[in-house]
Amino acid sequence: MAAKTKERPFVKMTATGNDFVLIDCLKWKPEKPASLARQILSRRYGVGGDQLLLVHKSRKADFRMQAFNPDGSEAEMCGNGIRCVARYVATAGLTRKKEITVETLAGIKTLKGTSKTFTVDMGEPKMKGKEIPVNLSGRIINRPLKLENKELRMTCLSMGNPHAVIFVEDLANFPLTKYGPIIETFHLFPRKINVEFANATSDKEVSMRVWERGTGETDGCGTGACAVALASVLNGFTGRKVTVAQPGGKVEVVWDKDDNHVYMTGPAETVYTGTFSM
């Protein structure tokens, strides 16, 4: 006799170009989240999305977030995803707090927000090679990256997950899909890396495109936007308050001089709710 299938609820959400499948693990917890991510995030055979977000109870914070990529790998942090978590717990009535804390693999993050826009305290960036991690010593600012047929210059840092930011002149026509996967898996990056290609359009705004580790090209990346903002400061292109424009929209990033924390403000939206069969 065939086992009966069960219908499990999910919420489809979006934030500045990233789309997510969110599952409330206070109601139901998947046994194999990596396998579920590969299945449910498929845009041909599943719901489709950039990441699977799982919302749990936490002993250390108000909630705990897990984020899984389409290849099944688990991300340490997702700046756009965590805003969706904040939007979900607020609209689902799981909290009445105006300020919440969310436990992630990159530490506990604090969020403040209105009904649709949230500011995330992303914490302090990690700047040294071993901390990011990158197999280079010291700070990595405008360092050459020698590929087989091209030399680029990169600025690397961690916003809870590793990033390599590369400034290019013709951002719109840069062959991101060619160089993104090459750099993601390059031998200098022991845990792979997210790659942002950027161009400073003024001293207050930067445009970017992103190749996300374990996902590919996406229309937005929250931690990537923070990395681009900081790289633009480190390279002398902008001040510490930066608007980062991505194909999916804009976020505001502030690198506070006093506490060295990075604050990102942007929207989060619910697209629809549904169920999937298991």
Residue 67 Cα distances to 50, 55, 85, 138, 142, angstroms? 10, 9, 11, 29, 30
Is 84 a known active-site residue? no
Residues of the chain with pLDDT under 50: 1
Close Cβ partners of 59 (under 8 Å, ≥ 6 residues apart): none
pTM of the full predicted structure?
0.92
Give the gyration radius of the chain's Cα atoms.
Answer: 18
Is 78 a known active-site residue? yes
Q: Which helix (H) or strand (E) holds 84?
A: helix 79-91
Domains along the sequence of the chain with CATH: 7-123+267-277 (3.10.310.10), 129-260 (3.10.310.10)
C-alpha angle 98/90/269, rounded to 5°?
A: 115
- Token pair recorded at residue 92: 């689902």
pLDDT at 278: 76
Residue among 25, 78, 84, 156 flagged as catalytic = 78
* Segment 230-260, tens digit of pLDDT: 999 999 999 999 999 999 999 999 999 999 9
* Segment 14-58, tens digit of pLDDT: 999 999 999 999 989 999 999 999 999 999 999 999 999 999 999
pLDDT at 1: 46
CA 233, CA 214: separation in Å to the nearest integer? 27
What single-letter DSSP state applies at residue 207?
E
C-alpha angle 75/90/30, rounded to 5°?
A: 45
Average pLDDT, the chain: 96
User: What are residue 237's phi and psi, to 5 degrees?
Assistant: -85, -30
pLDDT at 3: 57
Residue among 25, 156, 221, 226 flagged as catalytic = 221
